Structure formats: C-alpha cells, structure tokens
Structure 1
Amino acid sequence: MNAQRLRVGVVGAGNIATIAQLPTLVQRDDVDLAALVSRREDPGNLVRRWGFGAAYRSVEDMLASQDLDAVFVLTPRSEHAHAVQLCLDNDVDVFCEKPLAPATEEAERLADLADERGRILMVDFNRRYAPVYTAGREAFGEKGATFCVAQKNRPGSEYRATFENAIHMVDLLRWYCGGDPVDVAAHAAGDDPWEEDGVAAIIRFSTGNTGVLMAARTAGAWNEKLDAYGDGKTVEVRAPETVSTTVSGVTTSRELSAEAYGWATATDTLGFSAAVHHFLDRVADRAQPLTSGREAVHTQRLLDRILAASGLPAEEQQGRQWESHATSATAKP
C-alpha cells in the first residue's frame, strides 16, 4: 500500500455517489482517484469533474490495468456481489453500498471471502455514522436501549421497498438494542408483496431489549425518526438534523441545521461523509469497520426474518429489473 496516497477505484458514479461519496473522497489529501468504472458511453465529464486518472467499462478491465488499494462499489444492488468478489479476489479492500448482495447467503459468502483474504470489507449503513444517531446511541452505553422504535416512511412504493429502504432502520435497531434477535413478529400492508405498502415489526433481542420497526409507504411524506428508552434516559432522533436526550428530567437538544453545523448537507447529517472517512481509516489501521461485511450479514438475516414473518418474499422476483433510487435526482436516501 502506498504510504502517502491510497489508490482508489470507484465502480458506478450515479446520483447518490456524486452527492455523498465522491465529494468526500476528493477532499482527502491521502486519496488518489485512480480509476472509474462507468457504463456511460462518454464518461469524460465524470473523469474531469472528479479528477479520475482513467475510466473503464468493466471492473475486470480496471483491476487488470490498475494496482489499487481500495474500491468503492456504488452500483445498483444486483451488481454488488460480482464487483465485490472480483476486488476481494484481487486483494483489494472494498466499500460497498448496502445491501452487500440481494441474497443473504451470497452476502455471507463475501464476508467469508474477505476474512479468508484478510481484506477490509465495509457496507454503507451510513445511519450508524450520522451525528444524530451516533449521539443517541452513546447515551445507552454497552447495555443498549431497553426499547427502541425506528421509523422510516417514504411516499409511494417501489420494488422491494422494505429490503431497499427500511433496512437502514433494521440495522439501527440491531445497533441500539444489541445482541441477537430471538423473536420476530411482523405484518405487511398492501396487495403486492413485491411493492408492499409498508411493514411493522417487533423484535426481541438476546439482551432482553426490544426493537420496533415502522416503515409506511402510505404516509404521504418522507419521515425518519428514532425513539429510544432505557436506564432512566430518553433519546429522540429526528433525522437528519436533531437529537434530544432527557436524563433525570433535564433535556439536552442538539441541532444540526445549516446555521449550526456550517451549512450541513445530507452528506454530513446522514453519515455518508463519516462512513467514507471511517472506511479509509480502517484501510489504514486494518481494524474491522463498525459496519463490516459480517455485520451487514447479521442485519440482512434479521431483515429476512422480518420479511418471512410478514409474508413477504426474501428473494428477487424472477425476471424483474430492479431500478435504484439513486437514479432519481429527487429521491431522498
């Protein structure tokens, strides 16, 4: 590994990448954006805008031509596993958008491969790095929250909405409550199991803590919040900007508005930027990331249990083409 600058490749440079990861990468003095993989007929604008050293049509071509330290896989989920495996097989550390793979067994295989090759594999469950969620989690220490209610609503539905979007809240419930899921009960709304109208779930963890998931596609508005209780404390997170902690009747509030946080954007408030920094720091010190590939597998297994309990499929619909919300400039992450 270059002790001065990390040679980084990026696979996929869609809307979310240009809002979240790429602006953070170009700010790092220790990163050289060596290569881009893009399906665009003419990726020249992307190369010039972000300062990539070269552009390629495939991950195979990039890895054959470049000696890289790390790769960011920012493609639609159906393409994650192929790119991640190629990078790990070439002894390259990987940052992958969530989920690691459409099927949990495939995600676990990739986590095993990362361990076998001694590589850093991190999945972008960015909410764990968002300042409001981090501050809320710190209030409960090792015990975690006795009760945690995580809610993420979006108007309208999409293909496999719970798998694609509510998975963020499932990951937060695991993080806040700790332990392994013991009991899972869930209910889904809507007539189409592939484009459900929402899911509610209750999860009992081995720590004795309880998590509640609410993901409503019929709410008519984007809304994300988390309430947690335990050890005489109450935490209220209203993402992406506010967190309030009440201890012994005294409430302390933190506001991450543009004025209070130096013109904060979603890149900062939702944890995208901090996740990139965390990954690059782990590439340097070789410690396991907070949201490692193995952690991502545990979250996906819990999501599978929620889907099964609610009568929803855990697999892809045969012949269905998945379209990432990252292709929409107006979609909220």
Structure 2
Amino acid sequence: MQNGAVQVGILGCGRIARTRHIPELVANPNARLAGFYNRTLAVAEALASGLGGRAYATPEELLADPFLDAVCVLTPNSSHAELAISALRAGKHVLCEKPMAVSPVECDRLAEAERASTNILMIAQNQRFHAAHVKARELIASGAIGRVLTIQAAFSHGGPAMDANSWFLSKSTGRLGVLGDLGVHKIDLIRFLTGQEIVAISAVVDTLDKKSKDGGRIELDDNAACLFRLNGGAIGTLTVSWTAYGKPDVSTRICGTLGTIELMRTFEEPLVLYRPGTEPEQITVESNTNSGVVDAFIGAIVSGAPSPVSAASVLPSMRALFTAYESGRTGGNMIRLD
C-alpha cells in the first residue's frame, strides 16, 4: 500500500465498473484507483486520464505490476474464474463479480486457488450487504417469525440491453442467462437469510422473448422458475426474469410459524414484519448509499480480516444454481444436491 491506501486495478471497464465499482472505490478513503485494463484500450486510457493511474494493454501486464495491491475482476462471466485465479497467483487481493464462475469445475478450481492463497478473494454477492437483508437475517435468527416454513423470492426486470458492445446476452461470453445473473443473487440471499442450505431444487428454464441484435431470440435463458427445499424442511419458490418490462420485482417473502417477513415489497417499505393479532411493523433500516461490496473488500484488506464473502461460502449457492440448470435441461425434475 502507498500512503496507507490500497492500490487497486480494474480488469474490465464496462458498465458495472463505471456505475458501481469505480465510484465506490473513488469514495473510499482507503483505496486508490491505480490501473485499468479493458479489451478496448482507449476506454482504459480515458479512465486513467480522468481518474489517475495507468492503462494496461493486457490483463497479464496489469497483474504483473507489483505496485498494485488488489484487482477487481469485472470482465465477462466467461473469464471471471481464470482471471481471479491468475490474480491470486500474482499475489493480489481479488474482488470478483458474480457469478464467480460458469461451471462447477471452474468453481472448484477458484475455491482451491483461494485455499492456496494468503490473500483475500471476495465474491460480489451484494445482496448480503443490503441493510434490510442484514436486519431480516437477525430477526429470523432471533426467532421473530419462528421456524421458517415457506419462501417466495423474485428478481425480475427488463433485462440487459443488446447493443453493439454488449457481451451479456452472448452465449460465448455471458455463458449463463438470467438464472446465472439474477438467480444466483436470490439463491445466495435465501441461504444468507435463513442460515440453511438448499438440498433439492427443480427448475423450468426458458427463452421466451429477449431478442439479439439480429432480431432472433437470444441463446441464453431469459426466464426461470424454481422450486426448492431447505435442509430445515422449508419449501420455496424462486422466479427470475429479464422480460419484466415496465415494473421490476426484487421481493422476498419468508413465512414462519410465528409470523412473516416481507423484503423489498416496495423501496419505501424495505422490511415489514407481520405477526398474528398485531399491526404490520415497518422495520426502520439505514438507507444503503452504495452496494457495500467495495467498502467491505477494502476494509478487510486494511484490517487483515478474512474475506467478507469467500468463494468457499458461495460454492453452495453455485451448486444449487448449476443443479437448477440441470433440472431445466432434463425436464424440470426435483434433483437432490447431496
């Protein structure tokens, strides 16, 4: 670190970098943006010119620079695991966007690289940091709604736009569709909220409407509906969509033997607790000013704390995700994860 600040390099300067990671790094007093790589070099050069640091022609050149302490892997999904592994082996702390990898084999390789490294690998599962989710987890753990019985979760919006520079809807670079994009967030959130694991899952996975640049349907899934069971006995549903045009849905509903929690039913009411015989209780939580991911990552590096979201902790979410895809390919049957 130079002058007490973590020197951070950006691998991939696309939308998620420009709208989330870079602004949050700029705002963090313990971080300094010091390097940029993008497949279009001019984009990296423009960011370096405006924000400081330098542009690199290749990921390998950036990773070889001993000045950099940490990197953010924000490239297309297909390269997440390989770049994160290379960065760990180069001695960098790593913040890797979700999904951590695009196959079970890649997930295991990344988790093994994490075990072999003394540096931090953090997966950007940002739902764990939302204030309403953190509070809901505390309420569930304290017994506020009793034993969890059912869960209904949704994550739906109009989907990414297909433009001239988009990799998101391409099978060669995105590799996973809406289930890998939005579903992995909710699968991980379900585990985070309940403290339980998904032990069985079934799914219908389809491409219903999303169009590519040539007007045909994309090669990746744009809708999925899942049924699942937790190891504590609860059952649940998960729906994700890139075709919820006009009105998004990011809600989660957890019903227990003593009450119900509703999350993100509206942005004005992020957490509501319902119990028999009482009025609904709107729980006050702090407004999130950012995703919380970058601050947690930089904070762990500075303090020497463990990874806030390790690859090992996300592996069960990824296993459930890949099992859902398997179910979708084989007729939608319920598949056990053990």
Fold match, TM over 0.5? yes
Aligned partner of 1:46: which letter?
L
Instruction: Answer yes or no: is the 8 Å Cα contact 2:7–2:68 preserved in 1.
Output: yes
Q: What's the counterpart of residue 230 of structure 1?
A: 256
Map 1:219-258 → 2, pairs under 5 A: 219-221=244-246, 222-238=248-264, 241=267, 242-247=270-275, 249-253=278-282
**CA deviation digits over 1:276-326, x for unaligned, max 9?**
11111222334333421112222111011111122279xxxxxxxxxxxxx
Contact 1:8–1:33 under 8 Å retained in 2: yes
Cα distance in 1 between the residues matched to 2:127 and 2:233: 23
Distance 1:139 1:119 in 2: 33
SS at match of 2:111: helix
- Structure 1 residues 244, 48: closer, same or farther in 2, change over 3 A? farther
Partner of 2:96: 96
CA distance 1:279–1:301, shift in 2 (3 Å): same
Deviates more, 1:223-232 or 1:152-161: 152-161
TM-score in terms of structure 2 length: 0.79
- Conserved? CA contact 1:120–1:286, under 8 Å: no
Change (3 A) 1:179 1:255: closer
Residue aligning to 2:320:
302
Aligned equivalents of 1:37, 1:312: Cα separation in 2:
40
Q: Is the 8 A contact 1:186 1:309 kept in 2?
A: yes
Q: Which runs of 5+ in 2 are unaligned?
A: 161-168, 172-176, 209-216, 332-338
Given that residues 41 and 56 in structure 2 are in contact (C-alpha distance below 8 angstroms), is that contact kept between their aligned partners in structure 1? no
- Aligned pair partner of 2:311 in 285, 290, 293: 293
Aligned partners of 1:94 and 1:190: how far apart in 2? 33
Separation in structure 2 between the aligned mates of residue 56 and residue 240 of structure 1, nearest angstrom = 43
Specify the code of the residue in structure 1 equivalent to 2:46: N
- Can you list the C-alpha shifts for 1:93-116, whole angstroms capped at 9, x where unaligned? 100000111112112211111111
The 3-state SS of whatever aligns with 1:211 is strand
Query: What amino acid sits opposite 1:246 in the alignment?
Result: Y
Structure 2 residue aligned with 1:214? 239
CA contact (8 A) 1:188 1:312 kept: no
Percent sequence identity over matched residues? Answer: 25
- The 8 Å contact of residues 140 and 231 in structure 1, kept in 2 or not, is answered as no
Alpha carbons of 1:7 and 1:240: their partners in 2 closer, same or farther (altered >3 Å)?
farther
1:147 maps to: 150
Do 1:148 and 1:177's aligned partners in 2 also have CA atoms closer than 8 Å?
A: no
Trace 1:57-206 onto structure 2 (pairs within 5 A). Answer: 57-141=57-141, 145-155=148-158, 158=169, 160-190=177-207, 194-206=219-231
Mapped to 2, the partners of 1:73 and 1:286 lie a distance apart of 21
Separation in 1, partners of 2:155, 2:76: 21
Q: TM-score normalized by structure 1?
A: 0.80
**Counterpart in 1 of 2:46?**
45
In structure 2, the CA distance between the partners of 1:4 and 1:203, relative to structure 1 (3 Å rule), is same
Shift of the 286–212 alpha-carbon distance from structure 1 to 2, 3 Å rule, reads farther
Q: 1:41 to 1:99 in 2, by over 3 A?
A: same
Contact 1:148 1:210 in 2 (8 A): yes
Structure 1 residue runs without a partner (length 5+): 314-333
**Residues of 2 paired with 1:167 and 1:226: CA distance?**
14
Q: Which residue does 1:316 correspond to in 2?
A: none
Letter in 2 for 1:244: V
RMSD (CA atoms): 2.8
Distance verdict in 2 for CA 1:212–1:120, change over 3 Å: same
Match of 2:163 in 1: none
Report if aligned partners of 2:204, 2:327 keep a CA contact under 8 Å in 1: yes
CA separation in 2, counterparts of 1:10 and 1:197?
A: 29
SS at match of 2:101: coil
Deviation at 1:239, TM superposition (A): 6.4
Contact 2:45–2:54 at 8 Å: present in 1 too?
no
Task: Give distance in 2, aligned partners of 1:70 and 1:291.
Answer: 16
